[in-house]
Structure 1
Amino acid sequence: MPSLCSPLFWRDPQMPYVELRKINDARQVCYALHSHEHWSLGAVTAGRSTFQYRDAAYAISAGDLVLMNPHWVHACNPIQNEPWAYLMLYVDTQWLTDLRYRAGLLAFPEWLDIKTAVISKPRLFDRYLAMADCLLNSQRRICEKQAALVDYLLEVMHALDQTHDQSQHKAPEELRAVAEYMNVNAACELSLDKICDFSGYSAGHLIRAFKQHYGLTPHAYLINRRIQLGQQELKQGKPIVEAALNAGFNDQPHFQRTFKRLVAATPNQYRQTLVEH
Structure 2
Amino acid sequence: MTPTTQPLFWRDTALPFVELRHIIDGHKVRYVPHSHEQWSIGAILGGESAYLCADRIYDVAAGDLVIMNPQLVHACNPKVGSPWSYYMLHVDCDWLAKLLHRNGVRSTPSWEPSQTDWLTSPDLFERYKAMAEILFSEYGAQSDKTAALESFLCHLFESIDKAAAQESKLPVTPNKLARVANYLLEHCHLETPIEDIADQFGYSASYLTRQFKQYYKMTPHAYRLNRRIQLGQLALKNGVPIAEVANAFGFSDQAHFQRVFKERVAATPNQYRSIHR
Smaller-chain TM-score range?
over 0.9
Distance 2:117 2:36 in 1: 15
The match for 1:220 is 222
Distance 2:54 2:164 in 1: 24
Q: Distance in 1 between matches of 2:182 and 2:162?
A: 26
Cα distance in 2, alignment partners of residues 125 and 107 from structure 1 = 26
Structure-to-structure mapping, 1:40-119, within 5 angstroms: 40-119=40-119
- Partner of residue 149, structure 1: 149
For these two proteins, the number of residue pairs brought into alignment is: 275
**Counterpart mapping for 1:4-19 below 5 A:** 4-19=4-19
Q: Report the Cα distance in structure 2 between the residues aligned to 1:100 and 1:181, rounded to whole angstroms.
A: 31
CA distance in 2, matches of 1:191, 1:102: 45
Whether contact under 8 Å (1:106, 1:163) holds in the other structure is no
Q: Does 1:268 align with 2:270?
A: yes
* Cα displacement string for residues 159-189 of structure 1 (whole angstroms, at most 9, x for unaligned residues): 1226997965331222222212111111122
In structure 1, what is the equivalent of residue 206 of structure 2? 204
* Contact 1:5–1:28 (Cα < 8 Å) also in 2: no
User: Amino acid of the residue matched to residue 247 of structure 1?
Assistant: F
Partner Cα separation in structure 1 for residue 84 and residue 74 of structure 2: 18
Instruction: Give the AA of the match of 2:97.
Output: T
- Listed as ranges, the gaps of 5+ residues in structure 2 are none
2:176 to 174, 198, 206: 174
Shift of 1:104: 4.3
Q: Is contact 1:101–1:108 with CA below 8 Å preserved after alignment? A: yes
Q: In structure 2, what is the Cα distance between the partners aligned to 1:164 and 1:104? A: 17
Unpaired runs of 5+ residues, structure 1, are none
Shift of 1:2: 5.9
Q: 1:197 to 1:97 in 2, by over 3 A?
A: farther
Q: What SS is found at the alignment partner of 1:33?
A: coil
Deviates more, 1:8-17 or 1:181-190: 181-190
| Percent of aligned pairs with the same amino acid | 47
Amino acid at match of 1:55: D
Contact 2:188–2:228 under 8 Å retained in 1: yes
Using the TM superposition, give the Cα deviation of residue 107 of structure 1 relative to its aligned residue in structure 2, in angstroms: 4.8
Distance 1:105 1:187 in 2: 39
**Does the Cα contact within 8 Å between 2:10 and 2:275 map onto a contact in 1?**
yes
- Residue 199 of structure 1, CA deviation: 2.3
**Secondary structure of the corresponding residue to residue 127 of structure 2:** helix
CA contact (8 A) 1:178 1:198 kept: no
Distance 1:163 1:21, change over 3 A: closer
| CA distance, structure 2, for counterparts of residue 164 and residue 4 of structure 1 | 37
Q: Distance in 1 between matches of 2:201 and 2:104?
A: 37
- 2:124 is paired with a residue whose SS is helix
* 8 Å Cα contact 1:69-1:113 kept in structure 2: yes
Deviation of the 1:136 alpha carbon: 0.4
CA contact (8 A) 1:112 1:168 kept: no
Which TM-score applies when normalising by structure 2? Answer: 0.92
